[in-house]
Structures are given as C-alpha cells and as structure tokens.
C-alpha cells in the first residue's frame, strides 16, 4: 500500500481500511453466491 502521511486532516485510516476490507469481503462473497445461484438455475432449468 502507498505510504500514508499524517497531514492533520483528521482521517481515521484504521477505520477506513476496516471499512474497505469489509466491502471487499462482502463483494467477494456476494459474487460467489450469485454465481452459485446462476449455476444452480442453469443446471435445473435447462
């Protein structure tokens, strides 16, 4: 990750990184679930 400079802007980097990690996790699992649903529909409906 890029170097972070504390410019006194009040950014809470640990909270930001936790939020981003949660977003990536949610997106990954969401994609897996949707892919599973599509595969299930393709197998059972065709």
Sign of CA dihedral 14, 19, 24, 25: positive
- Identify the pLDDT of residue 4: 65
- Identify the pLDDT of residue 42: 96
The encoded tokens of residue 25 equal 């996790």
- Identify the pLDDT of residue 45: 92
- Identify the pLDDT of residue 12: 87
- Identify the pLDDT of residue 46: 84
Query: ∠ at Cα 40 (37, 45), nearest 5°?
Result: 120
Instruction: Flag residues of the chain having pLDDT under 70.
Output: 1-2, 4-9
- Identify the pLDDT of residue 10: 75
The pTM is what?
A: 0.68
């Amino acid at each position: 990750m890029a170097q972070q400079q504390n410019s006194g802007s009040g950014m809470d980097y640990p909270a930001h990184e936790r939020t981003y990690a949660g977003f990536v996790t949610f997106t990954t699992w969401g994609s897996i679930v949707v892919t599973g649903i599509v595969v299930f529909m393709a197998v059972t409906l065709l």
